[in-house]
Structure 1
């Protein structure tokens, strides 16, 4: 049995919302934060602002473990782990705009109770070292850092939760 955690997810877009709903489905308490009031309003009223087969049902089935908010401080307050699932749109030069990543990292200052910060957003090579350094400068050396790139098949992410798992014995 998995130990129950309090998980904070920054970003209620495709990756963040699916991630949060799936963690809630595993039994964790999840707070999903977004900066778009309209998106949070839809989620708080029981709607789902994106299309993903099975996601509405997954969110409804786990409503007692899912909270949606605009408040960054409240999102982190009781969290054990923070998942950063914000967008990183291309700049005019084609580089990833990491502004929202840095806004989330800045909002974590003082959250020394965290066990880990996990970045799922698409970021260029070297970003992890910069995030680690920012956490260290904020007095959070003890907070683990991980990069968890997403390879979610849009439109199939939730349905794959219930797909048969391959026999892994042949890979041992």
Structure 2
């Protein structure tokens, strides 16, 4: 959803997922999640929106990476951030990366940790910014509008990592 909305606003977007069935469905014009108007938005933006399983392809010219993963409760009830940290670590060495945006439901304090982690990502002298994007902002506009709705589809870009940074 986030990728389609960004493409609707005119950005070139590469969406990476680890589920081959979802990527194949999206390539064939099927939308594997329910969101009213999403299929039409994807079709309208097919020139600016690509789907891939390949991390290298996704990061080749990426300047801003959105981390959109699920954060289910752990056994203790805390948010399981292992997928989020795994995705962040997978960004190491992305030559054009300038910012990482956490678009997942995360606890207070995650932003500071994300900023500290992004400092270690850069293999160049250019700093990588970290930002947070609220996940559950309800906007009345349907997906067919150009406003970005924050009810994003969550997919992991890497298998969960039990040892966060």
TM-score interval, smaller chain: 0.7 to 0.9
Deviation at 1:152, TM superposition (A): 4.4
Higher RCO structure, 1 or 2 (CA under 8 Å, sep 6+): 2
Higher-Rg structure is 1
Runs of 4+ in 1 over 6 A off after TM superposition: none
Deviation at 1:112, TM superposition (A): 4.2
2:122–2:128 CA contact under 8 A, matched in 1: no
In structure 1, stretches of 5+ residues that fail to align are 1-17, 163-172
TM-score, normalised to structure 1, is 0.77
Deviation at 1:85, TM superposition (A): 0.8
Q: Is 1:158 aligned to 2:143, yes or no?
A: yes
Bigger helix fraction = 1
In structure 2, stretches of 5+ residues that fail to align are 148-165
User: Are residues 54 and 152 of structure 1, via their aligned partners in 2, closer, same or farther at CA, if it must alter by over 3 Å?
Assistant: farther
1:86–1:121 CA contact under 8 A, matched in 2: yes
TM-score, normalised to structure 2, is 0.80
The farther-off stretch of 104-113 and 139-148 is: 139-148
Deviation at 1:151, TM superposition (A): 2.3
Q: Is 1:66 aligned to 2:49, yes or no?
A: yes
